[in-house]
């Protein structure tokens, strides 16, 4: 039999990623004023079409980067060659304003949700282009806050430009070999240039060090932490610098792009990664590069915080965006795939639809959770956030990043399984999204790292009290008729809130931070779902019954009870458990052969 003969599988057809999404249009309708929603929705529908056509075609031209370290005469050139597809995707992001929109502030604090909504429908079809764009966004915010007038005129303007010819991208160089996420062991040193001509960009320094991960190696500028204090000062001896990746820093847009060696930055090698293979990630040897001090000396960790808030939010949006596409594929496939001798579609099979429904509940919870934080970010940046909202943002930012990455990784695998063997094929896209999406479990902090950050936030501010106050306000705002039908899940949330307060009381058990973060995220996402359900019921939205059911299932069936039990177990764990963990992993002193990975 020839391949053209016999049964022919029917391919799934994806619709516009905005208009067919089960969550985003309704969410934007709730969080945006009517006139803003009208404008944004029109642009989202248009851009959704661009994602399906222009961006997907550009992705076909994206190939891994190449590094040419020496020319034919043996001279060090470090020429980084990126593909037409990679450059084209970055140009699309620039033209569409994915970095510019939040800083143009056409819609004031609502510009942040607008910009992230565009990213949300594009991220899964962009070969991780948001990696450099997220850092460009973060660097732009730092310069907006503490940059000199010259930096704002020459660099900020280019970072937020919609013109691909003029626009700059930025990197974030933090990770070094000794410490990974622990920047206190940073080896890169910055030495002030004595008797140097003053620069309008900041006090000039010379930088010397080795950066272990640079994920925007083709950028124009980078933020970097470098040591200006003593090594024993740890993170208190770090300052923040803007480093030109290539010189001159400002050049005519028509001039050839110089190599990084012009500023004594050498690409040691490109990283061989599990995923994100189109992104040019490298190890950098910095040997006397020019850099400009931002802010006060030895305040680098504090000054870098706005970057982390933004890049962690980008990471969370990216995680859920990858799940969006995987779930859309799995859902569309169920409409065409027949079983039982071709007599029944998967969409008419209760067991299969139940699995898809479970994934859709998770997806809805994550979208509302992440965009709830995006709203707070927009308010904070525009100076209209209340004190309670600013405090909640500090807690919620690491939580959305950790929770989204943790939940989406497994959910994408489940979407793949919903397609059977077809799901394992490269052509459908899921197998590409999974390794690319897994980086979010590591980049900008693992769950454990972020859980410790959450502990620090609760110790140093009244942020947890602010969250508890907001949570109770949401619960109390539920109309009586709705509260009666949701008595079970609302009671569960009140119990969980009490457990959360108890979990973060000092001193905290060393095994408690991770399960406490997951409990916090479960509660917060539940409240975002409830907030939306209340709005849908009060405004008579046609899908309000579904919104209520999603909230009910998320609280009662999606792991809150398990997470609550994990918190109680960790809080009450005897001291011997820590030693028992060590014995399980490494063996005891009396064991001749310790357990090995």
Instruction: Tell me what pLDDT residue 344 has.
Output: 94
pLDDT at 428 over 90: no
Query: Is 263 in a helix, a strand, or coil?
Result: helix
Instruction: Tell me what pLDDT residue 7 has.
Output: 87
Average pLDDT, the chain: 95
Instruction: Tell me what pLDDT residue 13 has.
Output: 86
Span 558-564, average pLDDT: 96
- Do 447 and 405 meet the contact criterion of CB atoms below 8 Å apart? yes
Instruction: Tell me what pLDDT residue 197 has.
Output: 75
Q: What percent of the chain has pLDDT over 70?
A: 99
- Of 176-190, 301-315, 514-528, which range is least confident? 176-190
pLDDT at 594 over 80: no
Query: CA-CA distance, 162 to 97, in Å (whole number)?
Result: 6
Q: Residue 582's CB: how many other CB atoms inside 10 A?
A: 11
Q: What percent of the chain has pLDDT over 90?
A: 89
Helix H, strand E, coil C: the string for 342-387 is: CCEEHHHCHHHHHHHHHHHHHHHHHHHHHHHHHHHHHHHHCCCCCH
Span 483-494, average pLDDT: 96
Q: Residue 557's CB: how many other CB atoms inside 10 A?
A: 12
- Do 307 and 141 meet the contact criterion of CB atoms below 8 Å apart? yes
The helix (run of H) or strand (run of E) holding residue 532 is helix 513-539
**3 contact partners, CB below 8 Å, separation of at least 6:** none
Confidence tier at 596 by pLDDT (50, 70, 90): low
The whole-model pTM stands at 0.96
Measured CA angle at 271 (ends 219, 300), to 5 deg: 50
Buried b (16+ CB within 10 A) or exposed e, 161-195: bbeeeebbbbbbbbbbeebbeebeebebebeeeee
Tens digits of residue pLDDT in 147-179: 999 999 999 999 999 999 999 999 999 889 997
Confidence tier at 593 by pLDDT (50, 70, 90): low
| DSSP of 181-213 | T-GGG---EEEEPTTPPP-TTS-EEEEEEEEEE
pLDDT at 391 over 70: yes
Span 71-89, average pLDDT: 96
- The token pair that represents 291 in the structure block: 């850099």
Which residue has tokens 């963990």? Answer: 581
């Amino acid at each position: 039999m020839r391949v053209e003969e016999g049964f022919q599988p029917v391919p799934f057809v994806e619709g516009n990623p905005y208009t067919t999404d089960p969550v985003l249009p309704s969410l934007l309708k709730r969080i945006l004023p009517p006139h803003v929603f009208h404008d944004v929705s029109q642009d989202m529908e248009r851009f959704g079409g661009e994602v399906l056509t222009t961006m997907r075609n550009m992705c076909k031209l994206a190939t891994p980067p190449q590094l040419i370290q020496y020319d034919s005469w043996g001279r060090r050139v470090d020429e980084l060659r990126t593909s037409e597809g990679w450059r084209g995707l970055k140009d699309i992001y620039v033209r569409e304003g994915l970095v510019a929109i939040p800083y143009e502030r056409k819609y004031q604090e609502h510009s942040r949700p607008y910009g992230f909504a565009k990213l949300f429908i594009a991220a899964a079809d962009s070969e991780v282009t948001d990696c450099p764009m997220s850092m460009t966004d973060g660097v732009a915010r730092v310069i907006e806050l503490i940059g000199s007038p010259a930096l704002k005129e020459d660099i900020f303007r280019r970072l937020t430009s919609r013109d691909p010819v003029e626009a700059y991208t930025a990197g974030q160089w933090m990770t070094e070999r000794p410490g990974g996420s622990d920047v206190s062991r940073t080896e890169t040193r910055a030495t002030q240039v004595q008797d140097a001509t003053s620069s309008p960009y900041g006090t000039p320094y010379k930088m010397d060090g080795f950066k272990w991960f640079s994920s925007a190696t083709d950028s124009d500028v980078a933020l970097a932490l470098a040591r200006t204090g003593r090594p024993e000062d740890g993170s208190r001896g770090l300052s923040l610098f803007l480093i030109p990746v290539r010189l001159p820093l400002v050049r005519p847009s028509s001039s050839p792009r110089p190599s990084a060696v012009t500023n004594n930055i050498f690409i040691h090698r490109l990283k061989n990664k599990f995923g994100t293979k189109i992104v040019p990630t490298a190890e950098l040897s910095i040997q006397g590069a020019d850099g400009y001090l931002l802010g006060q000396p030895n305040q680098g960790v504090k000054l870098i915080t706005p970057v982390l808030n933004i890049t962690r939010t980008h990471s969370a949006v990216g995680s859920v965006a990858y799940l969006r596409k995987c779930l859309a594929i799995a859902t569309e496939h169920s409409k065409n795939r027949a079983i039982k001798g071709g007599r029944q579609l998967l969409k008419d099979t209760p067991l299969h639809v139940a699995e898809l429904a479970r994934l859709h509940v998770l997806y809805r919870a994550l979208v509302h959770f992440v965009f709830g934080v995006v709203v707070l970010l927009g308010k904070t940046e525009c100076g209209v956030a209340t004190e309670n909202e600013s405090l909640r943002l500090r807690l919620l930012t690491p939580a959305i990043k950790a929770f989204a990455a943790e939940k989406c990784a497994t959910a994408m695998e489940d979407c793949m399984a919903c397609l059977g063997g077809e799901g394992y094929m490269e052509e459908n896209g899921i197998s590409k999204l999974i390794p690319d999406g897994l980086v979010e479990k590591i980049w900008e902090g693992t769950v454990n790292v972020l859980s410790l950050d959450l502990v620090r936030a609760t110790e140093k501010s009244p942020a947890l009290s602010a969250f508890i106050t907001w949570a109770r306000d949401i619960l109390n705002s539920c109309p009586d008729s709705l509260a009666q039908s949701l008595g079970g899940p609302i009671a569960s949330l009140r119990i969980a809130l009490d457990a959360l307060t108890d979990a973060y009381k000092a001193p905290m058990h060393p095994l408690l931070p991770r399960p406490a973060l997951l409990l916090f995220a479960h509660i917060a996402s539940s409240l975002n779902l409830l907030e939306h359900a209340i709005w849908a019921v009060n405004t008579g939205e046609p899908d309000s019954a579904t919104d209520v059911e999603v909230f009910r299932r998320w609280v009662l069936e999606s792991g809150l009870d398990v997470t609550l039990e994990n918190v109680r177990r960790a809080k009450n764990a005897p001291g011997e458990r820590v030693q028992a963990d060590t014995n399980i992993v490494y063996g005891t002193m009396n064991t001749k052969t310790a357990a090995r990975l």
